[in-house]
Structure 1
Amino acid sequence: MLAWSLSWQTGVDALRRNAAVRNDRTTAALKSTLERYESLPYLVGAHPLVQDVLADPKADWVAQANRYLEDVNRHARATTTYIIRADGLCIAASNWRGSDSFVGVEYRFRPYFIEAAKGGVGRFFGIGTISHDPGYYISQPVRRNGKIVGVAVVKLNLEWFPGSDASEPLLVTDDHGVIFLSSVPAWKYRTVRPLQADVVASIDETRQYARQDIAPLPVSVERVLEGGADIVRIGSGLRAPRYLETRRGLGEPDWHLVTMSPVDPVLDAARNVTIMTGFGYVSVCLLAFYWRMRRARVREVLRSRAMLQKAYAMLNDRVAERTADLSQANERLQREVAERTRTEAELRATQDELIQASKLAALGQMAAGITHELNQPLAALRSFSDNTRVFLERGQYDAAHENLEAIGSLTERMGKIVNQLKLFVGRAKPKSQRSPVARALRNALALLGKRLEGVGIALTITDGDAASAPLDPHGEYPELVAQCEDLRLEQVLINLIGNALDAVAGMSAPRIAIDVRALPATIEISVGDNGPGIPADVMPRLFEPFFTTKEMGQGLGLGLAISSSIARDCGGTLAAHNVADGGACFVLTLRRTRVNAALAATNGSAMSPAEANAAGNTAAAGNPSAGNPTPPANDAHH
Structure 2
Amino acid sequence: MTMLGVPLWAVAASAVLYLAAAAAAVEVAWHRGLDALTEAGAHRLDLYAASLRSELGRYELLPAIAARQDSIKTLLAAPPDARRALLPAVDDYLQAVNRDAGSVAVDVIDLNGDVIAASNWNQAVSFVGTNVAYRPYFTDSLSAGNGRFFGIGTNTGEPGLYFASAVRDGQKVLGATAVKIRVDPLESAWRVPNEAAMVVDGNGVVVISTVPAWKFTALAPIAPQKQQQIQASRQYAGRKVDNLGYARLGDWRNGAWFARLPDWSHPGRERRYLVMSRSAPQAGDAIMVALDLSTARRQQQLAFAFVTGVFLIAAFYGLYAVQRRRVIVERLKAQDALQRANDRLEATVQQRTAALQQEIDERVLTEHKLRDSQQQLVHAGKLAVLGQMAAGLTHEINQPLVAIRTLCDNARTFFERGQSAQALANLARVGKLVENMALLTAELKAFARKPEASTVPVSLADALAHARLIYDSRIRDESVQLDIDIAPDTLVAAEPGRLQQVIVNLLGNALDALTGREAPRIRMGAKRSDDAARVTFFIADNGPGIDPHVLAHLFEPFVTTKPRGHGLGLGLAITSRIVEGFGARIAAVNLGGGGAQFTIEFVAANGGSIDSE
TM-score by length of 1: 0.48
> Rg larger in 1 or in 2?
2
